[in-house]
Amino acid sequence: EFRSLKAQASIDISVEGYEEKNVNVISDAYSPGTRLDMQQELFSVEEFICDSKQQVVLKDTLEINEDDCNVQEIFNIMCRASISEYRVFDGKVVIEGVANNSVLYLSENEEQPVSYASKEIPFEEVIEVPELEEEMLCEVEIDVEDCNFSMISTTEVEVRTVLKASVKVVRKSSISLVEEVEDSIIDARSIEERPSIVIYFAQQGDTLWKLAKRYYTTPEDLREANDIAEDDKILPGQQLIIPKKR
């Protein structure tokens, strides 16, 4: 006998939108002939490190209450997964949660032929994330990819669920950006008192930009004076000639 069911449901939907933009910002500035006083401000940024996805396959038997009589037909099976907690250690993310499986079926019960049964299947999954470090943050999600069933008997249903566990790893950091720049004239006497040539041995972390800024010259002049190619980097202990900018 064909029966029509009418149902009314309320659904809450939450949507977040993101847009990726490339923005040119000033992190440092200088002028060989002018003193620049910069006001800097710290900005918080999130650096994407990696993401990892892994399937979680669950299988269990759902038993129908004997009072509901034998199952004649299964209309539908639904699954909803949730994460109860996750732990991070030694480059691994351990996810714990449950998958709630509900079966809507037709039974031989004449008073209430349409009924449902549900069962929670707990799971624990370990996802390897070699890039993960202690100070990094994780965003963990679980989604249902597939859910199906097979009848074992008139009172037993085997449910099979495939979940997708996702881990996104980010690093929060602060960067200093230039917010405002004020220029002033360099004292002419201090310029005249500078030596015409400085012999400098590069230290760890030195760059041509940093040295040019310190000695009021330009990276191009340093490359030319030391025969350094455009893509070459200076190494600790490397001897550099720094001529005074005329």
- Number of Cβ within a 10 Å radius of residue 6: 4
Residues in the chain: 246
pLDDT for 2: 60
pTM exceeds 0.75: no
Question: If the chain, 246 residues long, is cut into consecutive pieces of 10 residues, what is the mean pLDDT of each piece?
Answer: 72 82 79 82 86 93 74 88 92 94 84 84 92 87 92 88 94 84 78 83 92 90 91 90 82
pLDDT for 69: 66
Half-sphere exposure of 69 (CA within 13 A, CB side): 12
Residue 68, C-beta contacts closer than 8 angstroms, at least 6 positions apart: 107, 109, 112, 115, 117
Contact between 115 and 75 (Cβ < 8 Å): no
pLDDT for 80: 93
pLDDT for 239: 94
pLDDT for 160: 93
